[in-house]
């Protein structure tokens, strides 16, 4: 069988990230960035959030959410730059900036979640 490109790998990450982002981001964004700051719902206390974040399952959940969402962005944004701005000739730079950004974000998430408590 002839060798295939490794695009399949990035597409899987994009897809997984797309599902995770679609299911999980709206509620979390609504609560923390809109409902709580505007006082529509009572904001959870610092202690309650820390108790949640100490749970290993919650940390894994947040890590997966952040990591996959970033790789979803990286893939989609990379192709938007190719198509929208017609800058395909810069594809090595774009590739590095997009996936590099996702990798850095993932590492920051890993560090924060590992050391938070």
Partner 1 sequence: MEMAETITLEIARYSPEQDTAPHFQSFEVPVHKEWVVLDALNHIKDREDGTLTYRWSCRMGICGSCGMMVNGEPKLTCATFLADYATKGSKIRVEPLRYFPVIRDLVTELGDFLGKLKKVKPWLIHPSQAPLSQGEFLQTPAQLERYKQFSMCINCTLCYAACPVFGLDPIFVGPAALALAQRYNMDSRDQGSGERIAVLAHPDGIWGCTFVGECTRVCPKHVDPAGAIQQYKLTAVFEWLKSFITPKGQDI
Partner 2 sequence: MGAVKPETIRVEYAEFHPRWYRPPVSVYWWLKQRQYLTFILRELSSVFVALFVVMTLFQLWALKKGPEAYAQFQQWLQSPLVIALSIIGLFFVVFHSITWFNLTPSAMPVRLGGKRLPAFLVAAPSYVAWAVVSAIVAWLVLR
| Closest CB to partner 2 among residues 34, 90 | 34
Question: Tokens 């505007």, residue?
Answer: 38
Do the Cβ atoms of 21 and 64 come closer than 8 Å?
no
Task: Say whether residue 79 binds partner 2 (CB under 8 A).
Answer: yes
Alpha-carbon dihedral 87, 92, 96, 99, rounded to 10 degrees: 70
**Among partner 2, partner 1, none, what does residue 116 contact (CB within 5–8 Å per kind)?**
partner 2
Please choose which of partner 1, partner 2, none residue 93 contacts, taking the beta carbon within 5 to 8 angstroms, the exact cut-off set by kind: none
Residue-wise burial string across 23-39, b where 16 or more C-beta atoms lie within 10 A, e elsewhere:
ebeeeeeeeeeeeeeee
Query: For the window 82-101, what string marks contact with partner 1 as x by the rule CB under 8 A?
Result: xx--x-x-------------
Partner from partner 2, partner 1, none binding residue 5, C-beta < 5-8 Å depending on class: partner 1
Is residue 10 within the footprint of partner 2 (CB under 8 A)? no
- Rg (Cα) of the chain, in Å, rounded? 18
């Amino acid at each position: 069988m002839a060798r295939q490109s490794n695009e399949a790998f990035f597409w899987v990450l994009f897809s997984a990230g797309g599902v995770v982002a679609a299911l999980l981001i709206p509620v979390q964004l609504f609560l923390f960035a809109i409902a709580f700051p505007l006082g529509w719902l009572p904001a959870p206390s610092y202690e309650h959030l820390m108790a949640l974040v100490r749970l290993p399952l919650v940390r894994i959940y947040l890590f997966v959410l952040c990591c996959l969402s970033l790789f979803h962005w990286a893939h989609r944004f990379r192709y938007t730059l190719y198509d929208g701005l017609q800058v395909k000739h810069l594809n090595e730079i774009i590739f590095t900036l997009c996936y590099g950004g996702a990798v850095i974000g993932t590492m920051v998430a890993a560090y924060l979640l590992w050391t938070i408590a």
